[in-house]
Structure 1
Amino acid sequence: MKIFKLISLSLLISFFVVSCSKSSCQKNTENEQLVKQYFELFNAHKWKELSELYIDNTEFKDPSFGTGIVKQSKQDFIKKYSELNRIFPDLKDEIKQIYVSGEKNIIVEFLSTGTAPENSKFELPICTIFTIENGKITKDFTYYDNFDETK
């Protein structure tokens, strides 16, 4: 009888561990799909649809904003990327690698390319850490070399 209880307890614990892992795994898959959808919308320059992947006041970290965290509305986001798209009409991002970090964070390495108004082409390696909660991006922390050679 004691062995039966021990086996039952072991099976119950194993089931609990496996079910927790499946839940976590499913959440990570959903978050990865959201990030892939993000890049599809980005490359299609669908800024309004892309903004809908974010909460209303998302925390952003981006060298173009300085060194701190800046909260932006969906309207701010649309304005920023519409302007960027005006300057670089063929702007595209190519995912190089996606890393899952816990249940909320997805890290993406990607290469941004485009053509400036004077027809010079650029390639910029970028890394973004997305924090995703309840199916929406709550934080977008982006890192790239923002060194200005003209200074």
Structure 2
Amino acid sequence: MGWREDNVALVERHFRLEEVGDSAAVLDDMVDPPEYVVPALTSGIVATREEISEIHRNLYSAFTPLRVITEQLTVEEDRVAAQVLVGGVHSGEFLGVAPTGKEIYFHVCSVFEIANGKITRESVYSDTGEFIRLAAEPDQ
């Protein structure tokens, strides 16, 4: 495989491992210490494995089962931008919203920086307003 296929495979594996709740394997594909930026959930760079695992645990408990649905990947030699839908059944608190029991998916864009087959940085940008709006909508 070439660098393009390798980078796509790395990002797709990352999402599949997130879906099954395997934070240890997710982190194995990242450099140590990792850089993880999630402006909607943190105020800066998350640079410890435990902090990243805590963010993942919060997602796993908020959405069962957690799903990450890839809509589009844009691939360059040292980075991949992924437009995805994230969600599942809203079964735990998320962004201060109590569980609704509704199936909710919201848009996320993750930008992965990659070097030597490892993710060096992941920046995650999510539309939290979309999640809050969907959680508040009455059942159809």
Range class of TM-score, shorter chain: 0.7 to 0.9
Q: Helix, strand or coil: the match of 2:24?
A: helix
Q: Take 2:18 and 2:36, find their aligned partners in 1: how far apart are those partners?
A: 16
Higher strand share: 2
| Secondary structure class of the residue paired with 1:142 | strand
Report 1:36-55 matches (<5 A).
Answer: 36-55=12-31
Q: CA deviation at 1:59?
A: 2.0
* Corresponding position of 1:65: 42
Q: What is the Cα deviation at residue 89 of structure 1?
A: 2.5
TM-score (norm. length: structure 1): 0.72
Partner of 1:99: 74
> Is contact 1:52–1:74 with CA below 8 Å preserved after alignment?
no
**In structure 1, what is the equivalent of residue 118 of structure 2?**
136
Residue 11 of structure 1: aligned partner: none
Q: How does 1:2-151 map to 2 (within 5 A)?
A: 26-62=2-38, 63-66=40-43, 69-101=44-76, 103-117=77-91, 118-147=100-129
Whole-Å separation in 2 of the counterparts to 1:57 and 1:71: 9
Q: Which runs of 5+ in 1 are unaligned?
A: 1-24
Contact 1:130 1:137 survives alignment (8 Å): yes
Q: Deviation above 3 Å: which 4+ runs of structure 1?
A: none
Aligned to 1:8: none
The alignment partner of 1:65 has SS state of coil
Rounded Cα–Cα distance in structure 1 between residues aligned with 2:46 and 2:62: 23
- Counterpart residue number, 2:96: none
- C-alpha distance in structure 2 between counterparts of 1:60 and 1:78, whole Å: 11
Cross-structure match for 1:14? none
Structure that is richer in helix per residue: 1
CA shift for structure 1 position 120: 2.3
SS of the counterpart of 2:64? Answer: coil
Counterpart CA distance in 1 for 2:73 and 2:12 is: 9
Structure 2: distance between partners of 1:54 and 1:79 = 16
Letter in 1 for 2:41: S
